[in-house]
Amino acid sequence: MLKSTSYQLNLRKAVDVAYKVIENYFQKTLTSRAPVVATVLDPRYKLYYFETLLKNEGGTRSTIYNKVKGHFTKVYDMYVARETKKRLHRQLQDKP
């Protein structure tokens, strides 16, 4: 029984350390635009993934959710501006 308890304590410590490492990487992921935008664009997840994931932190009212949404909005706005600029440039070139 003593051996089993020692094993369980060691396993618990290992799980705690692994959880902290994964949580650290997850937090870094949330501060990077590429993985956030890729998740939001994925039809299986969209923003619902983050809403569900952050349910205990306030869901759509959480700071992280708003940061995620802000990342997506910023990238979307950049693409819209770029495409609008291209379209206007093409229109100007087509005029006699």
pLDDT tens for 15-28 read 999 999 998 988 88
Six-digit token string for 27: 């937090």
Closest residue by Cα to residue 53 from 38, 64, 69, 42: 64
**Under 8 Å between Cβ of 68 and 50:** yes
Q: Give the pLDDT confidence of 13-64 residue by residue, as tens digits.
A: 999 999 999 989 888 887 788 888 888 889 888 889 888 888 888 989 988 8
